[in-house]
Chains A and B, each alone.
Chain A
């Protein structure tokens, strides 16, 4: 087959609310296989994510029947991106390299500080929300940020073979574009998360710090609920100038509902660690922005080298299941190619509770850029001839290399 007839294959597994993408790039010595994330927000024990893992491992088997992946990319540590790696079956899969954001580097003190701050907040928040009997979708949000120990262990020290770990991007901005021996013919652009102090500040949100303090004080108060002054200073009844029932309700409600704000802030903070990566091969520019949000995007959109590349995007994994904050409007309006260029886009998503995900306006805006867009929750209706649905678990597209 001539190289021109070869195709890049990108498969999106239907994991519910989560991500799992398998990219296959044709080369002289066969295909390179890259797995971006494997997780679902729901607990994985025996549930659908294990079926996905099984299916992926089956799909990456070489002719000798041995499953091999060249690069596993874990964009960030959210459960909905890594939970599948808790599965023991990965130990049979031969992996050459594992790429993670720099915030996962065990040797980097700043990364450690960020991870610790995030997990401490996730743990406290999850406990508090459970104690308060909060709504399920808010608890899910906190649970999503809990350390997924088993999964992270696989990523850091598991898999078959002698997998090399890389933490990206490198601190030196000039080394953010590089090649890797395991991916011949591919130029890798690691665009984010940058080391800019504003980006780092977003990874440890102040809402979290003050919340932790509040929670600790709340626990102390529950242990010792006495009034704040020694002795009894209580006034029996209502003094002149007392509050009405409605006014009392306002005072009594101070601080209520704070948890969901903090949960969202924590979620944003973990998303802020997302590895944003573009793979350049032949005439294709495949963009995988993880779940990056404003801080990281803002840095990328302010970097002329990156924006020049964004304008060439041929494939877009839509960030964070199509949420509001993960695909900035300036990116779509000013940089994302539209017709008549060939853009493919995939959204791994599902409507959950009251969450406005995927965001309608964003889906509408993307639709003006390309018709070749597919959602994991609408696989049976996927555009015939462009996307190939395989049962309900998988949809694949083939992009001319």
Chain B
């Protein structure tokens, strides 16, 4: 074979560079704001439309609707310059930016989970950069799409924007990352759009903010600048730790929309000033704040706090080296080499925390998540991969949650071994699908980047389109296994069991070991009180994690129980009594109030 015919020559480039605003147009052409990110190279048709994300530029704000010209990113003229130049006035750049940032989020998920993510039925996630006029952006499950709004900046108080100028939510890195994360969370845990306790919606929001904020740290230029400006104190209020600056100012808030640190929470900071940081705040916000975005900020602050502690540990030696052992930085500018090294540590730490946060998904129960469950999942997932925790990443994270009053249910202490999910009892029979013997049937997606894995569909979805061989596996193997071991798996005997997710995970641990797991979600439904609870059924279920040889290692369970029903009912009563709309909601619509298809209720948005 001629060398010219070899794969080495013929293979297309692995990455596609695309230009974006690192934060949003309001930061203007400030250094680092115009940046280039590289996403996986795939064949794109005008839109751009790839295999998993497609941009549909439909504007519903004019009567009859209209489309805008789609960009062809494979056009040589555009390829040659690494994508269109950032600009507010060309919708094709907007399309490029939502695609690029959306892909970046997707890749972060794939990297952390160790597998490719496809949307159900081989559908593509649609991004509509100019869907409506309004200061908001939404994920809509029916469309499997993210709808970005555009609006005019506040006339009286526009911040650094022109009064009345058009502001595009689709040009904010943070808003794109936030909304695409909602779509991915919905893909991984579809029951998390049923807000069965105060943490579920808050988890959706907080997690979306976490992804948006930590993605900032992957942009080397701005990271470098802000480390210089803040003299390594990354908690300072810079655009790095703030979300959606332009949006916040353009809507007259006079500040960024949200921040990773400002909620931190007066309480924790004051406690630190008093010198008794071991005491959680007298009334932690976790006890009182119920609005999903604000409550989500508690999760963000906890994770960011954990990040900051690890980062400080990691740069302590660099600071000592740079300061002749004192660790006290002198006045004046920092040495550029030091900045580069510190930026490297910040970026690595951020990536590692982000990966840890996403990886925890495999260890979450399939329904009714709480912040406490999430902490346990974080600890367990990280423990499985890095048992030794050399840099104290887990310890810092546990501490950050503790100081915010987030305590998981049913643990004896906040020691690491107590926070790990309990191991499955030894009498749980071997999982019926063992990877070693049956590799190809359970892990098609792990070896081919092109073919979507076949997964079962969650219950109560429209257009079921199960692939025959997997539904065979579900019907013939997985469900019978769960039925005959219901009690051991935390399920209710005799009640129908739905298989809502089944995949394998391959990861390499810190010590070079290959970690293989088979993750399956079983869900059960209790509908009797659905109407009384505003249309929310009680769901129970278990996430079952088996090793490569089929040994069941963890059963993470939320069993159907009277106690959980009572709790859910109490929560819904609280929602009802605090919601002024309940006063006027006609009787015949009350039965669906918790699942209303209106945007206000179920769609996860950047603001409420």
Which residues does A use to contact B, with CB under 8 Å? 137, 141, 198, 205-207, 210, 213-214, 216-218, 220-221, 225, 227-231, 233-235, 237-243, 247-248, 250-255, 257-258, 260-261, 264-265, 267-269, 271, 293-295, 320, 323-326, 328-329, 354-357
User: Closest A-chain residue to B577, C-beta based?
Assistant: A294
| A233 contacts B69, C-beta separation under 8 Å | yes
| A294 contacts B578, C-beta separation under 8 Å | yes
Q: Given A250-B142, A250-B143, A264-B584: A233 and B60 within 8 A (CB)? A: no
| A251 contacts B60, C-beta separation under 8 Å | yes
- B573-607 vs A, CB cutoff 8 Å, 1 = contact: the mask equals 10011111111111100100000001110000001
**In the complex, how many angstroms separate the beta carbon of A128 from the nearest chain B beta carbon?**
14
**20 CB < 8 A contacts A-B:** A213-B135, A217-B135, A227-B62, A233-B69, A243-B56, A251-B60, A251-B65, A251-B128, A251-B147, A254-B147, A255-B132, A255-B134, A255-B599, A260-B584, A293-B583, A324-B583, A325-B579, A354-B587, A355-B586, A356-B586
| A235 contacts B580, C-beta separation under 8 Å | no
Ordered nearest first, which 6 A-B pairs have the shortest CB separation? A268-B580, A251-B60, A354-B586, A252-B60, A235-B67, A254-B132
| B47 contacts A293, C-beta separation under 8 Å | no
User: Closest A-chain residue to B65, C-beta based?
Assistant: A248
| B68 contacts A234, C-beta separation under 8 Å | yes
**In the complex, how many angstroms separate the beta carbon of B257 from the nearest chain A beta carbon?**
12
Known contacts A217-B152, A264-B580; 11 further A-B pairs (Cβ under 8 A): A207-B608, A213-B135, A217-B133, A218-B133, A234-B66, A238-B67, A241-B47, A252-B65, A254-B138, A258-B599, A261-B600
User: Closest B-chain residue to A263, C-beta based?
Assistant: B584
| A258 contacts B580, C-beta separation under 8 Å | no
| A233 contacts B132, C-beta separation under 8 Å | no
| B45 contacts A264, C-beta separation under 8 Å | no
User: Closest B-chain residue to A249, C-beta based?
Assistant: B60
Query: Quick check: is B464 within 8 A (CB to CB) of the other chain?
Result: no
Residues of chain A with a CB closer than 8 A to B132's CB: 251, 254-255
Of A228, A233, A325, the residue contacting B150 (CB under 8 A) is A228
Of A225, A229, A240, A251, the residue contacting B143 (CB under 8 A) is A251
Of A213, A243, A264, the residue contacting B583 (CB under 8 A) is A264
Of B68, B152, B155, the residue contacting A233 (CB under 8 A) is B68
**In the complex, how many angstroms separate the beta carbon of B44 from the nearest chain A beta carbon?**
12
Determine the distance from Cα of A247 to Cα of B151 in the docked complex, in whole angstroms: 22
| B576 contacts A233, C-beta separation under 8 Å | no
Of A239, A251, A325, the residue contacting B580 (CB under 8 A) is A325
| B577 contacts A328, C-beta separation under 8 Å | yes
Of A141, A213, A247, A250, the residue contacting B584 (CB under 8 A) is A141
Residues of chain A with a CB closer than 8 A to B126's CB: 241
| B142 contacts A267, C-beta separation under 8 Å | no
Query: Quick check: is B82 within 8 A (CB to CB) of the other chain?
Result: no
Determine the distance from Cα of A253 to Cα of B600 in the docked complex, in whole angstroms: 12
Determine the distance from Cα of A252 to Cα of B587 in the docked complex, in whole angstroms: 28
Q: Given A239-B70, A267-B583: A329 and B573 within 8 A (CB)? A: yes
Query: Quick check: is B344 within 8 A (CB to CB) of the other chain?
Result: no
Of B46, B598, B608, the residue contacting A206 (CB under 8 A) is B608
Query: Quick check: is B131 within 8 A (CB to CB) of the other chain?
Result: yes
| B89 contacts A229, C-beta separation under 8 Å | yes
**In the complex, how many angstroms separate the beta carbon of B267 from the nearest chain A beta carbon?**
14
Q: Which of B29-73 contact A (CB under 8 A)?
A: 45-47, 49, 54, 56-62, 65-70
Determine the distance from Cα of A12 to Cα of B602 in the docked complex, in whole angstroms: 42
Residues of chain B with a CB closer than 8 A to A205's CB: 580
| B143 contacts A257, C-beta separation under 8 Å | no
Residues of chain B with a CB closer than 8 A to A324's CB: 576-577, 582-583
| A242 contacts B58, C-beta separation under 8 Å | yes
| A258 contacts B600, C-beta separation under 8 Å | yes
Query: Quick check: is B209 within 8 A (CB to CB) of the other chain?
Result: no
Residues of chain A with a CB closer than 8 A to B47's CB: 239-241
| A210 contacts B131, C-beta separation under 8 Å | no
Number of B residues whose C-beta is below 8 Å from A? 67
Residues of chain A with a CB closer than 8 A to B598's CB: 257
Residues of chain A with a CB closer than 8 A to B578's CB: 294-295, 325
| B154 contacts A213, C-beta separation under 8 Å | yes
| A220 contacts B608, C-beta separation under 8 Å | no
Most buried by B among A241, A324, A328: A241
| A251 contacts B135, C-beta separation under 8 Å | no
**In the complex, how many angstroms separate the beta carbon of B587 from the nearest chain A beta carbon?**
5
**In the complex, how many angstroms separate the beta carbon of A295 from the nearest chain B beta carbon?**
8
Residues of chain A with a CB closer than 8 A to B149's CB: 254
Residues of chain B with a CB closer than 8 A to A250's CB: 140, 142-143
| B581 contacts A265, C-beta separation under 8 Å | yes
Q: Given A248-B65, A356-B587: A235 and B89 within 8 A (CB)? A: no
Residues of chain A with a CB closer than 8 A to B108's CB: none
Most buried by B among A229, A257, A294: A229
Residues of chain B with a CB closer than 8 A to A255's CB: 132-134, 599
Query: Quick check: is B251 within 8 A (CB to CB) of the other chain?
Result: yes
Query: Quick check: is B166 within 8 A (CB to CB) of the other chain?
Result: yes
User: Closest B-chain residue to A201, C-beta based?
Assistant: B291
Query: Quick check: is B164 within 8 A (CB to CB) of the other chain?
Result: yes
User: Closest B-chain residue to A356, C-beta based?
Assistant: B587
Of A229, A241, A253, A295, the residue contacting B56 (CB under 8 A) is A241
- B143-175 vs A, CB cutoff 8 Å, 1 = contact: the mask equals 100010111101100000000101010000000
User: Closest A-chain residue to B608, C-beta based?
Assistant: A206
Of A221, A294, A356, the residue contacting B133 (CB under 8 A) is A221
Residues of chain B with a CB closer than 8 A to A210's CB: 135-136, 251, 607
**In the complex, how many angstroms separate the beta carbon of A319 from the nearest chain B beta carbon?**
11
**In the complex, how many angstroms separate the beta carbon of B80 from the nearest chain A beta carbon?**
22
User: Closest B-chain residue to A228, C-beta based?
Assistant: B166
Most buried by A among B67, B130, B132, B142: B67
Determine the distance from Cα of A293 to Cα of B584 in the docked complex, in whole angstroms: 13
Residues of chain A with a CB closer than 8 A to B68's CB: 229, 233-235
Query: Quick check: is B408 within 8 A (CB to CB) of the other chain?
Result: no
User: Closest A-chain residue to B140, C-beta based?
Assistant: A250
Query: Quick check: is B458 within 8 A (CB to CB) of the other chain?
Result: no
| B67 contacts A234, C-beta separation under 8 Å | yes
Query: Quick check: is B280 within 8 A (CB to CB) of the other chain?
Result: no
| B164 contacts A213, C-beta separation under 8 Å | no
**In the complex, how many angstroms separate the beta carbon of B263 from the nearest chain A beta carbon?**
15
| A242 contacts B577, C-beta separation under 8 Å | no
**In the complex, how many angstroms separate the beta carbon of A254 from the nearest chain B beta carbon?**
4
Q: Given A213-B251, A234-B67, A261-B600: A267 and B135 within 8 A (CB)? A: no
User: Closest B-chain residue to A320, C-beta based?
Assistant: B583
Determine the distance from Cα of A141 to Cα of B155 in the docked complex, in whole angstroms: 28
Residues of chain B with a CB closer than 8 A to A240's CB: 45-47, 49
Residues of chain A with a CB closer than 8 A to B164's CB: 220
Residues of chain B with a CB closer than 8 A to A218's CB: 133
Determine the distance from Cα of A235 to Cα of B55 in the docked complex, in whole angstroms: 14
**In the complex, how many angstroms separate the beta carbon of A199 from the nearest chain B beta carbon?**
12
User: Closest A-chain residue to B149, C-beta based?
Assistant: A254
Of B90, B131, B576, the residue contacting A254 (CB under 8 A) is B131
Residues of chain B with a CB closer than 8 A to A213's CB: 135, 151, 154, 251-252
Query: Quick check: is B91 within 8 A (CB to CB) of the other chain?
Result: yes
Of B46, B60, B90, B135, the residue contacting A229 (CB under 8 A) is B90
Determine the distance from Cα of A253 to Cα of B128 in the docked complex, in whole angstroms: 14
| A239 contacts B587, C-beta separation under 8 Å | no
User: Closest A-chain residue to B291, C-beta based?
Assistant: A206
Residues of chain B with a CB closer than 8 A to A357's CB: 583-584
Residues of chain A with a CB closer than 8 A to B65's CB: 248, 251-252
Residues of chain B with a CB closer than 8 A to A325's CB: 576-580, 582-583
Determine the distance from Cα of A140 to Cα of B138 in the docked complex, in whole angstroms: 30
| A355 contacts B584, C-beta separation under 8 Å | yes
Residues of chain A with a CB closer than 8 A to B150's CB: 228
Q: Given A217-B133, A239-B67, A254-B60: A228 and B582 within 8 A (CB)? A: no
Residues of chain B with a CB closer than 8 A to A230's CB: 89
Determine the distance from Cα of A225 to Cα of B133 in the docked complex, in whole angstroms: 11
Most buried by A among B138, B154, B576, B599: B599
**In the complex, how many angstroms separate the beta carbon of B184 from the nearest chain A beta carbon?**
20
